Structure 1
Amino acid sequence: MNVRFSEYRPSYALSPFVQAYYTGDFNLYSEDNFVQSVVPNGCIEMIIHLTHDHCELVKSESWGKSPEFTLIGLQTKPYEVKFHDMVQIFGIRFNPEGIYNIFGVPPALFTATFEDSSDILGVAFKDYCSWLREAKSIQQKIRLTEDFLLKKMSDHAQDFDYVRLASETIRKHHGMLTLEELVQQVPISPRQLQREFKRRFGITAKEYMRLSRLNAIQQYMQGTEMVNLTELSYDTGFSDQSHFIREFRQLAGTNPRTFLKQRDNFLTLPVNLE
C-alpha cells in the first residue's frame, strides 16, 4: 500500500459539523505519476499540506498543483489525485453544513471543484495554518484546530435551520428514504426544501441521498473481504442488482466487482453517517 492514513474524532461540540481530522502520507515510495481515484463521500475536505510537494488536481480540464491549503467541495463523481513525490497532509472533513455553520460560507461557492482555502476563509485561516505546521504532535495539531474552529463557530453562530435538519436526517437514514419521507421529518414543502438545499450546498437533496447511500455501501465493503453484492444491493434499498450496479458505477466510476478487485487504486474515505 502506497498510502498511510489515520483518522481522529472531533469533540462533542464540533461533531455535528466535523466528521474527522486526519493525517495522510501519500505516495510513500515516491513513484512518479502515482494516481488515486477518489470516491465522493458527501463531505467537504480541507487539506493543509505539511510538505513542499503537493498533489495535483484537475480544474477546467487541466492538471495543476493544488493550493497550499486546499478546499475540496462536494463532489458527485469520482475525481483523480496525482502525486510525483511523497506528500504529507493534515485534513479536516466537514459535513456540508459544517463550513456554513462554522465559517458562514455556503458550500455552493465551490461545489464540484476546489479552491484555495485562504481565498475563501481569509487571513485568520492562514495564521491558523502557520501555527498548525509548527505544532510537533498530532495532539497539539488537534487542540489548535479545535480552538480555531470553536472560535469561528462562535463568531458565525447560526440559527437552527431546515437545511441542516434535512442533511442530518439524510445521514441518519444512510440516504435510504424518499423525498416525501424526508419532508415528513422536516416541516417545509418539497419545492422549498429542494430550492434551499441546492442554494446552500450546490447539490440537491436527492443527490445528497445518493452520496449518503454510497457511503453506507463503502462502509460495508471496507468491513469485510467477502462481499455478497446481491445481499448488499437489497440491504441498501435498491430494487434490484442492476439498479445498484448502475448507481455504483455513476458515483464510483466503475462497477462493484472491478472496484473490489482494484481497491488499491481508489482512495475511499467513507464517513460516519450516524
Structure 2
Amino acid sequence: MSLDFEIFKPQGRLASHIQAIWSVSVASDTVQTVHKQLLSDAGTGVTFILQNEVQMDGEWQSPGVLLLPVSTLAHQVCLPPGTVMAGVRFHPAVSYQLFGQRLAQPLRIEGDHPLASLALATFESLQAAHSPSARMVALYHWCQDLIAAYEPQDVSHIIHQERATISQRQRERQFQKWLGITPKHYQRIIRVRQTLEQLRAQPNISLSDLALEQGFADQAHMTRECQQIARMTPKQFVRKRKKPNRL
C-alpha cells in the first residue's frame, strides 16, 4: 500500500483539547501524488512536515512546523512520493486559548514564536522517529507538555449550544473572537461534516433519507450546503471515495 495513515484519539485530560494525533507517509516508490480531502471542522491544528514539500490548498509548503487557521471550508492536500508528515488536531477554539490569536492563513513556527521552543525540538524528534507509532508517541508527549504549559480553558460549554451557560450575544462575541464565524455558521459546518461522515460509512444510503436524518429541509438543501462548505456534492463525495489514493 502506497499510503500509511494512522490516527489516535486521546482519552482523559487531553480529550477535551485534542481531537486527534495523526501520522501519514507516502512510499518513495509510489508513482503518483496522493490527494487527500480534509473536511472542515471549525478546528485548528499543528502540522509537522518532516520530509518533502507538500501542497496545501495550492500552496507548496517546505518541511517545518505549521500552525493552521480555523477550518471553515474543505481543504485539499497533495502528498508527493516520499512525503512524511504528522500532526495534532485541536478542538474548536482551543488554538486561540493556547496562543491568543486567530490566524487567517498557515503560520510557520520559527524564531521567537511562543511555540518555537517546544515545537522545534519535537520536530527534530519526529524526524528521527522510524515508525508512525513512534511519531504519535512523541506528539502525545508534546501535547501533554503544551497543555501543561499553557493551561487552556475548557470552552466546550460555549461551543456546544446544548451546553451553553451564557447569553446568545455573549456566545456570538466569543465565536467571532475565537473562530471568526457565528454559532449558526459553526452548526452548518458540523452538520455538513456529520453528513459526509455518515455517507463515508454508508455510501449506498438514500440521499433523501440522509438529508432528512441530518435535519436539512430536503435533498437539494443538503446538496447546496455540502457544495458550499465541503466544496463537493454528496454524489461527488461518494465518487471521489471510490478512486485510488483517497482517504
- TM-score greater than 0.5 by the shorter chain: yes
* Runs of 5+ consecutive residues of structure 1 not aligned to the other structure: 170-181, 269-274
Partner residue, 2:199: 221
Partner residue, 2:157: 165
1:200 is the counterpart of 2:178 = yes
Letter in 2 for 1:222: R
1:21 is the counterpart of 2:26 = no
Partner residue, 1:56: 55
After superposition, residues 108-123 of structure 1 pair within 5 angstroms as: 108=102, 110-111=103-104, 113-118=105-110, 119=113, 121-123=115-117
Q: State the distance in 1 between where 2:211 and 2:27 align.
A: 33
Contact 1:45 1:72 in 2 (8 A): yes
Letter in 2 for 1:47: T
Q: State the distance in 2 between where 1:208 and 1:67 align.
A: 31
Please report how far the alpha carbon of residue 67 of structure 1 lies from its aligned counterpart in structure 2 after TM superposition: 5.0
Q: State the distance in 1 between where 2:114 and 2:229 align.
A: 27
1:141 is the counterpart of 2:119 = no
1:41 is the counterpart of 2:37 = no
Letter in 1 for 2:233: N
Q: State the distance in 2 between where 1:193 and 1:82 align.
A: 36
Please report how far the alpha carbon of residue 76 of structure 1 lies from its aligned counterpart in structure 2 after TM superposition: 1.8
Please report how far the alpha carbon of residue 71 of structure 1 lies from its aligned counterpart in structure 2 after TM superposition: 2.3
Partner residue, 2:208: 230
Please report how far the alpha carbon of residue 244 of structure 1 lies from its aligned counterpart in structure 2 after TM superposition: 1.0
Q: Deviations over 1:51-90 (max 9, x none)?
A: 2x121234xxx73334522222222223332344331211
Secondary structure, counterpart of 2:217 in structure 1: coil
Q: State the distance in 2 between where 1:90 and 1:202 align.
A: 26
Secondary structure, counterpart of 1:15 in structure 2: helix
TM-score, length of structure 1 as denominator length: 0.77
The 3 A distance-change label for structure 1 pair 220 and 100 is same
Partner residue, 1:77: 73
Question: What do you get for the CA RMSD once the two structures are aligned?
Answer: 2.7
The 3 A distance-change label for structure 1 pair 68 and 231 is same
Secondary structure, counterpart of 2:15 in structure 1: coil
The 3 A distance-change label for structure 1 pair 259 and 138 is closer
Partner residue, 1:172: none
* Runs of 5+ consecutive residues of structure 2 not aligned to the other structure: none
Letter in 2 for 1:55: V
Letter in 2 for 1:114: P
Q: State the distance in 1 between where 2:225 and 2:40 align.
A: 13
The 3 A distance-change label for structure 1 pair 267 and 199 is farther
The 3 A distance-change label for structure 1 pair 57 and 259 is same
Q: State the distance in 2 between where 1:63 and 1:135 align.
A: 27
Q: State the distance in 2 between where 1:230 and 1:189 align.
A: 35
Please report how far the alpha carbon of residue 247 of structure 1 lies from its aligned counterpart in structure 2 after TM superposition: 0.5
Q: State the distance in 2 between where 1:235 and 1:227 align.
A: 11
Q: State the distance in 1 between where 2:133 and 2:63 align.
A: 25
Letter in 2 for 1:201: L
1:125 is the counterpart of 2:124 = no
Residue identity (%): 20
After superposition, residues 174-193 of structure 1 pair within 5 angstroms as: 182=161, 185-193=163-171
The 3 A distance-change label for structure 1 pair 31 and 129 is same
Q: State the distance in 1 between where 2:117 and 2:54 align.
A: 23
Q: State the distance in 1 between where 2:178 and 2:108 align.
A: 20
- Alignment coverage as a number of residue pairs: 243
Q: State the distance in 2 between where 1:202 and 1:27 align.
A: 38
Q: Once structures 1 and 2 are overlaid, which stretch shifts more, 113-122 or 203-212? A: 113-122
Contact 2:226 2:232 in 1 (8 A): yes
Please report how far the alpha carbon of residue 120 of structure 1 lies from its aligned counterpart in structure 2 after TM superposition: 6.0
Please report how far the alpha carbon of residue 193 of structure 1 lies from its aligned counterpart in structure 2 after TM superposition: 1.0
Letter in 2 for 1:141: R
